[in-house]
Amino acid sequence: MLKRTITGAIYVAIIVGFFFLRNVDCRLFDILTLFFCTVGTFEVARVLKPYLYKGNFALATLFGVLFVPLFFVIENYTVFYGACACLIFSGVLILYQAAVSGVKREKFTTFCVNALPFIYPALLLLAILCANESKEGFICLLLIFVISPCADTFAYLVGMTYNKIRKGKAKKMCPRLSPKKTWAGAIGGVVGGIVGAIIVYFAVDKTGICATAKINPFLLFVIVGAVASVFTEIGDLFESYIKRKVGVKDIGNIMPGHGGIMDRIDGMTFAAVIIYLIFILLL
């Protein structure tokens, strides 16, 4: 528990540090996303390595290293959009996997496994890269990095407490994927996400840029908190599905007590996409 707490504190300190660096130059925040993308892609490719075509592990690792630099260079030094370049980059590699699967007459599931490292987590992290470049970048990023941890914390505390009250008989949400997750915890996670969003609203943006939103700003934050917390839980379940299929407890081991980077940001990557999309639609 002590090891987990210390690792968590260091992780939070690093995130806070990058938010301060962002005030110097918002592009410095891309360094953090580069780290997430590089290590996250490597971790996903490594656990899937026994099921990948020959050479795909190295190709996926290289993809994870180049993804964020490609976005940065195209976005900042050309007239083209970095997001489009990254989507094309990923799309070409996915089409390559489809071609190989077709030649080998493999099952569709085999293609999906080989294509996954070129989608997850890179394409989800693309939302963070785009949010960082936007006018509302600070608020958007703050919501991404606050809502998911709040949702996870509330889900754990509410789920654990309710399960004790029910003497271990709390209704499970997805017992085959994640035996410890309960519906009570899921509801607690949504509440936690809303609480996190409201904290951001009153702490940072009570009269800020979101006052120009198409709906009431406070209601906007509540909606973002609720929807993003649901996607956080979907992200958690998705990674649980991967781990269950490959038979591992954690995706990686870079964070003692927590597992790997993907074990830490699995829900956040899914939440990032929906938060960014909501900001695009409602601002």
Q: What is the pLDDT of residue 178?
A: 79
Cβ 131 vs Cβ 141: under 8 Å? yes
Q: What is the pLDDT of residue 212?
A: 64
Q: What is the pLDDT of residue 217?
A: 83
Residues 6+ apart with CB under 8 A from 263: 239, 250, 251, 252, 255
The H-or-E segment that residue 215 falls in is none
Q: What is the pLDDT of residue 252?
A: 82
Q: What is the pLDDT of residue 144?
A: 95
Q: What is the DSSP string of 236-257?
A: HHHHHHHHHHHT-S-S--SBTT
Q: How far is CA 30 from each of CA 33, 35, 36, 213, rounded to the nearest angstrom? A: 5, 9, 10, 26
* Full-model pTM: 0.93
Cβ 153 vs Cβ 192: under 8 Å? yes
| Burial class for 251, CB neighbours closer than 10 Å (0-12, 13-18, 19+) | buried
Cβ 197 vs Cβ 146: under 8 Å? yes
Q: What is the pLDDT of residue 85?
A: 96
Q: What is the pLDDT of residue 207?
A: 53
Alpha helices, DSSP H only, in 25-136? 29-48, 56-77, 82-104, 108-115, 122-133
3-state DSSP helix/strand/coil % of the chain, to nearest 5: 80, 5, 15
Q: What is the pLDDT of residue 257?
A: 74
Q: What is the pLDDT of residue 205?
A: 60
Residues of the chain with pLDDT under 70: 1, 205-214, 283
Q: What is the pLDDT of residue 31?
A: 96
Q: What is the pLDDT of residue 206?
A: 57
